[in-house]
Amino acid sequence: EEEDDFASQILSENEIGDAWIGYNDRGESNEDDFSWTGPPGSEYENWYNNEPNNYGGNEDCVEKREDFGWQWNDRDCEQAIPFVCEGSF
Protein backbone atom coordinates (compact mmCIF):
# COMPACT_ATOMS: atom_id res chain seq x y z
CA GLU A 1 0.00 0.00 0.00
CA GLU A 2 2.87 2.35 0.84
CA GLU A 3 4.46 1.86 -2.62
CA ASP A 4 1.10 2.36 -4.32
CA ASP A 5 0.58 5.63 -2.43
CA PHE A 6 4.10 6.75 -3.34
CA ALA A 7 3.47 6.03 -7.03
CA SER A 8 0.22 8.02 -6.87
CA GLN A 9 2.08 10.96 -5.36
CA ILE A 10 4.82 10.90 -8.03
CA LEU A 11 2.30 10.63 -10.87
CA SER A 12 0.20 13.46 -9.43
CA GLU A 13 3.20 15.75 -8.87
CA ASN A 14 4.26 15.20 -12.48
CA GLU A 15 0.72 15.67 -13.80
CA ILE A 16 0.55 12.18 -15.31
CA GLY A 17 -3.08 11.02 -15.46
CA ASP A 18 -2.54 7.29 -15.89
CA ALA A 19 0.37 4.85 -15.95
CA TRP A 20 1.13 1.14 -16.23
CA ILE A 21 2.19 -0.50 -12.97
CA GLY A 22 3.57 -3.85 -14.21
CA TYR A 23 0.64 -6.01 -13.07
CA ASN A 24 -1.08 -8.23 -15.65
CA ASP A 25 -3.01 -11.39 -16.41
CA ARG A 26 -1.59 -12.03 -19.89
CA GLY A 27 -1.98 -15.47 -21.43
CA GLU A 28 -5.14 -17.50 -21.99
CA SER A 29 -4.71 -19.62 -18.88
CA ASN A 30 -4.00 -16.56 -16.68
CA GLU A 31 -7.29 -14.67 -17.03
CA ASP A 32 -8.16 -13.13 -13.64
CA ASP A 33 -4.87 -14.47 -12.20
CA PHE A 34 -2.87 -11.24 -12.01
CA SER A 35 0.85 -11.23 -11.27
CA TRP A 36 3.71 -8.73 -11.21
CA THR A 37 6.20 -8.36 -14.04
CA GLY A 38 9.57 -9.48 -12.69
CA PRO A 39 10.00 -10.98 -9.21
CA PRO A 40 6.83 -11.84 -7.28
CA GLY A 41 5.25 -8.83 -5.61
CA SER A 42 2.91 -8.39 -2.71
CA GLU A 43 -0.64 -9.62 -2.35
CA TYR A 44 -1.87 -6.00 -2.16
CA GLU A 45 -4.42 -4.86 -4.74
CA ASN A 46 -6.20 -1.53 -5.15
CA TRP A 47 -8.90 -2.03 -7.79
CA TYR A 48 -11.43 0.66 -8.69
CA ASN A 49 -15.11 -0.28 -8.31
CA ASN A 50 -16.13 -3.14 -10.63
CA GLU A 51 -12.56 -3.68 -11.82
CA PRO A 52 -10.98 -5.73 -13.20
CA ASN A 53 -13.70 -6.24 -15.78
CA ASN A 54 -11.82 -7.29 -18.94
CA TYR A 55 -14.02 -4.92 -20.97
CA GLY A 56 -14.02 -5.98 -24.61
CA GLY A 57 -12.24 -9.22 -23.73
CA ASN A 58 -8.70 -7.91 -24.08
CA GLU A 59 -7.76 -5.99 -20.93
CA ASP A 60 -4.73 -7.81 -19.58
CA CYS A 61 -2.55 -5.00 -18.18
CA VAL A 62 -3.13 -2.78 -15.16
CA GLU A 63 -2.88 0.99 -14.85
CA LYS A 64 -3.30 3.53 -12.07
CA ARG A 65 -5.78 6.25 -13.06
CA GLU A 66 -6.08 9.71 -11.61
CA ASP A 67 -9.76 9.95 -12.56
CA PHE A 68 -10.32 6.69 -10.62
CA GLY A 69 -8.77 8.18 -7.46
CA TRP A 70 -5.45 6.50 -8.35
CA GLN A 71 -7.04 3.08 -8.03
CA TRP A 72 -6.34 0.33 -10.53
CA ASN A 73 -8.01 -0.46 -13.84
CA ASP A 74 -7.41 -3.27 -16.30
CA ARG A 75 -6.77 -2.01 -19.83
CA ASP A 76 -5.69 -3.19 -23.26
CA CYS A 77 -1.88 -3.61 -23.11
CA GLU A 78 -1.46 -1.98 -26.53
CA GLN A 79 -2.31 1.49 -25.20
CA ALA A 80 0.68 3.86 -25.22
CA ILE A 81 0.77 5.42 -21.74
CA PRO A 82 3.59 6.17 -19.25
CA PHE A 83 4.71 3.52 -16.77
CA VAL A 84 5.94 3.27 -13.21
CA CYS A 85 9.11 1.23 -12.76
CA GLU A 86 10.52 0.06 -9.44
CA GLY A 87 14.26 -0.11 -9.13
CA SER A 88 16.78 -0.98 -6.49
CA PHE A 89 19.79 1.17 -5.79
Q: Write out the chain's pLDDT in tens, 89 residues.
A: 999 999 999 999 999 999 999 999 998 888 889 999 877 778 899 999 999 999 999 999 999 999 999 999 999 999 999 999 877 65
Of the candidates 46, 21, 16, 50, the one whose C-alpha atom is nearest the C-alpha of residue 36 is 21
pTM (2 decimals)?
Answer: 0.90
Of the candidates 50, 42, 76, 78, the one whose C-alpha atom is nearest the C-alpha of residue 62 is 76
State how far the alpha carbon of 46 is from the alpha carbons of 29, 51, 63, 73, in Å. Answer: 23, 9, 11, 9
